Every structure is written in structure tokens, then in C-alpha cells.
Amino acid sequence: MLKRTLFFTGVILCMGIFAYAQQKPQYTQYIFNNYLLNPAVAGIENYTDVKLGYRSQWTGLQGAPTTAYFTVNAPLGSDFTRGDAASFPSGGDSPYSRLYTSEYRAAEPHHGIGFSLITDKAGPIDQTNIMATYAYHLGITEKLNLAVGVSAGANHLHLNTSELTFENPDDPVLRNLENNKWKPDAAIGIWAYSSNYFFGISAQQILPQNQYISTNNGQNLSKTVPHYFATAGYKFYLSDDVSFLPSALIKFIQPAPTTFDINAKLSFRDRFWFGGSYRKDDSFGILAGFNLNSLINVSYSYDATTSALRTVSNGSHEIVIGLMLNNIYKLTSPQHGW
């Protein structure tokens, strides 16, 4: 009985990380890839947007979370991809200029598709998420676009028992371990955007699934929970070529308390930017990035931990590399995104 109790204690401690905190990865640079949180963003630009990201959280802490992802999304519809009124040929108006704002018009109705692959590891727990996305974008006023999107796929959650120490590796409890299965996953979202503001709401992990292990009476010790996000931002023009973009992300994940991120981004035309971030009761961060050319952009962030983990953590690092494929207008920065 003692052996079984020790096993349950270890498993519950591991699952407690997820039961009372965010089960999905968190991102400091959500503003650079809103598609990670909201499927309605798929196809927002008139090129194929590819992102590769890596996050090392709480470095210096053994078993700290690490996240890697690959996302790609693209529009469908020639009226948009080859005739978007808000896209200018190379050498035209920068999306960071006031002139761009005055001439902005809502995008032509079009479809968007996307794909994401995300891997996340925290201690003995690792998960892999694969999703495909469909979105539809529609101009509802002369300058306001509305998009709705849905993602569907599968999630694989795994508890690596080889990283845990058991008094009896052949404990019968291990036979009930549901520990290497793919389970369905889904997300939905709405995204409204114009030339200088955006707001959106989304829900991820909307198909709750049992995790790991069940007791003899059929009860499960842990379940996935839906994640709800609300995002908004507004771009202020400090001059013709310099803009300031504050944004906020609010996260609702029961039974954890509601939390939020606040970011601020100062951009210089379409070449480089820097900024800062704050995550409630967790960290302060600095961000910087540049658009190398019409193909490649890079961004980096560092979070200084402010929670109790600051005594053992050296902070968090996140880097994102973006590719703008099929970029027929040779844009060096997003036109409809941020």
C-alpha cells in the first residue's frame, strides 16, 4: 500500500503543475504570432507566413519547461492575394506610417488555412500538439475586418516514468496508466482588425480529455481544461515613421486565477522594433526584433522572473524566426498583422 501511495504522490505532484496552472505553453512574443492563440488569424496576410519558435522557461531550474513550435498559415483567394487594397508594392507606404492608415481599406473576403506543430516538455511531462486550421475573413465596414476560425487536430500527452523513481517498478497501478495516446483537440476564435487596432477572443483545448490514470472506481485524477484568451492592441503614431503599440492578453483558465500579459512595442518603419512586457505575478521582459528583408524576420525576448522561482531561475529566453513566402509585393513587414 505504501508503494502505491508513493506512486500516486509522485504522479499527482506532476499533474498538479497542470491542474492548477496553464496546461498550454505560454509565449512572451504572442504579438509576433497571434496565430498561436487564435485560429481566426490564419490567412490574415497576403503571403504565406511561417514561424519557427523556441522558448526556454526558467533556465537554471532542473526540469523547467521548454517549448518549440512550427506554424504556417496562408490566404486563399486571388482577389486578396493579388489585389489586396492595403498592400503596396516595394517602395510604397510603410504600414508604420500615418499615410498607410489614411489609405487603409478592409481586405477582400477570403479564406485562410494553417497548420501548427507544438512540442512542450516540463519535467517528466511532455506533450505534442498538431492542429489544422480554417478561417474566413470579411470586411464588415470600409476599414474593419472580421475573421472567424476553427482548428482541429490531436494532442499527445506523455508522463515519462523513467524520470521518476518508484519503490516497485512493477506496481499494479502502472497497468492503468493511460500514458501514450493521441486524443482529439479543437480551438475556435474571432478576430477583428483594422489599420491601427485589433481585438480577438479564442478558446483552446475545448474538448476536455482525461489524463494519465484512473482510480478503481473509474474516476480520473486529472483532466484537461479549456483555455480562454482575450487579446487587444492599438497602434499610436509618434511620427510618420515611428509607432507605439501597447497590447494586452487576458487568460481565463479554471481553476487558476485570471491572469494577464501586457506588452509594448516601439517600431521604426518596417525595419526594427523593441519593447517590454509584464506578466502578472510572474515576470518582466524585454523584446527586440528586426525585418532583415522581404523574406526573413527575427525577434528575441528575455523574461526576468519575479515569482518565488526567481531564487532558482535565471529567467526565460524566447526566439522566433519568421519567413514570408510567396511575398509577391516584397513586403518587409506585416500589413494586416502586428
pLDDT tens digit string along 88-98?
Answer: 444 445 555 66
Q: What is the CATH number assigned to the segment(s) 2-325?
A: 2.40.160.40
Which has the higher per-residue pLDDT, 198 or 335? 198
Q: What pLDDT is attached to residue 70?
A: 98
What mean pLDDT do residues 283-304 have?
Answer: 93
What mean pLDDT do residues 30-39 have?
Answer: 94
Q: How confident is the model at residue 239 (pLDDT cuts 50, 70, 90)?
A: confident
What mean pLDDT do residues 184-205 have?
Answer: 95
Q: Quick check: 40 pLDDT over 90?
A: yes
Query: What are the domain boundaries of the chain?
Result: 2-325
Q: What pLDDT is attached to residue 295?
A: 92
Q: Quick check: 117 pLDDT over 60?
A: yes
Set of cell numbers at residue 225: 481544461
Q: What pLDDT is attached to residue 175?
A: 61
- Under a CB-based contact definition with an 8 Å cutoff, are residues 241 and 94 in contact? yes
The pLDDT tens digits of the residues spanning 43-78 come to 999 899 999 999 998 887 878 899 999 999 999 988
pTM metric for this prediction? 0.84
Q: What pLDDT is attached to residue 172?
A: 63
Task: Give 277-282 contacts, CB < 8 A, sequence gap 24+.
Answer: 277/28, 277/301, 277/303, 279/26, 279/28, 279/303, 281/306, 281/307, 282/306, 282/307
From CA 201, how far away is CA 39, in angstroms rounded?
10
Q: What pLDDT is attached to residue 86?
A: 63
